[in-house]
Amino acid sequence: MDELDPMLRSGKPVLLDFMQVGCGPCQVMDGIVNELAREYGDSAHIVKVDVGKVAGAAQAFKVRSTPTFVLLGTAPAKQSKKARERAAKHGGPTRAKSGKITPRWRTTGLVKKDALRKVLESNGARTGA
């Protein structure tokens, strides 16, 4: 769990796969998660978390069953309408600062690869990176 902090600070999306050895659905998702890790390379962090071996992981993320997927990311800070208008008027970039790290998406059970792809890409991951 301590290894999450540097990943989160990188600004890349972090997909956590909470799984268990011997869990049938987890075994089905294992191959899909491995494929996604290869496809997205360095543009996202895809991490398998064995709830039986990583103490406190299930409690920290309130995992009740496996597989459970949680996507963590940095939520952009909200910017006032006036600040957006000023940036648009002067042609400059907006000055939104990074927000806090938040769970952006969560689901449990079997998930289609396309659904996981969509979530990763909507949070900044790109294939072939």
Task: Respond yes or no: is residue 23 known to be catalytic.
Answer: yes
Q: Which amino acid is at 32?
A: I
Task: Respond yes or no: is residue 109 known to be catalytic.
Answer: no
How deeply is 35 buried, as exposed, middle or buried, from its count of CB atoms within 10 A (0-12, 13-18, 19+)? middle
Provide the token pair at 64. Answer: 């009740």
Q: At what angle do helices 113-122 and 24-40 cross, to 10 degrees?
A: 40
Task: Choose the catalytic residue: 4, 7, 8, 23.
Answer: 23
Task: Choose the catalytic residue: 26, 33, 46, 70.
Answer: 26
* Residues forming the active site: 23, 26
